[in-house]
Amino acid sequence: MRLIAIDLDGTLLSPEMEITKENIEALRKAQSQGNIVMICSGRAPEDIQQILKKYEISCPLAGSNGTVVQVNESVLESISLDRKDIIKIAEKLDEDKVPYRVYTNHGIYVPADWSERVAFAVKKDRIEIEGLPDEVYQRITEQPQKSSLIKYFNKYSELFNEEDLTVQKFFVLTLNSTTKTALSAYLGGISSIVITSSGPLNIEVMDQNGNKGNALKRVAEYYGIPLDNTVAIGDNFNDVPMLELAGLSIAMGNANPLVKEMCDRVTHSNDKNGVAHAIDRYILSE
């Protein structure tokens, strides 16, 4: 039995944000042979659940970069930011007028002035990313729509009005190079948190114990699977903790070059069913 931890964006999801038939078949084949497949993503748990339900996939998941671990729809572990760190982070983001999202146990909270913050960042200095299509840039920067998952707030202090609300992650949109550098330096000075990135236009902030590696370890312990029998598949820096911990690490063909260098294997890109190829070539065949 193996535990296979798979990232979503840039990995299991195609560039069209879909899970292909080939990838679904590979996941089910792995499960049918007694392996445990888990999804480990920077997305909120509720978001991951919607995707899995759409494709009728049943498996454990780790959301918000591994800070929330769920098995059989029950929360196995939840690692939250300390209140004093939340205040430090939010005050700095508001001071710099940076667009950000707060991932909580009550959904995702977004500043009501998100669009104004994006416009401010673009006016200062939009970071040019080679090969980033305009439609992708628009999707990243557009105002998140209110829903059962996404809520607006005017001041971060409003979050503290809900006594049982906990914060697992800050997702920070960084379109300005100067701001990104300064913000990374500031956040790096807070010893109780960790910062990472799932793409060139963002910074993600969690408690120092909240990462995909710890999520992989927690699920492995739950099923009694030795870490030597674990596999991780990913494409970006927020995947590094689980890639480092897993017995076998596999980078996507579209992965960041530094991520590729640290992995044991490299599979096809996410536009060429890289997860399916990895499962068939490197996991089920070995």
Q: The tokens of 228 are what?
A: 């030597």
Query: Residues 6 or more apart from 28 whose CB is under 8 A from it?
Result: none
**7, 96, 207, 235: which one is catalytic?**
7
In this structure, the number of other CB atoms found within 10 A of the CB of residue 14 comes to 19
For residue 254, which of 9, 62, 39 has the smallest C-alpha distance?
9
E strands present in 83-200: 100-104, 107-111, 150-153, 167-173, 193-196
Strands 167-173 and 202-207: antiparallel
Query: Residues 6 or more apart from 137 whose CB is under 8 A from it?
Result: 129
Task: Give the position of tokens 């572990």.
Answer: 77
Strand order through the sheet with 248-251:
74-78, 68-71, 61-63, 36-40, 3-6, 230-234, 248-251, 265-266
| Active-site residue flag, 7 | yes
Active site residues: 7
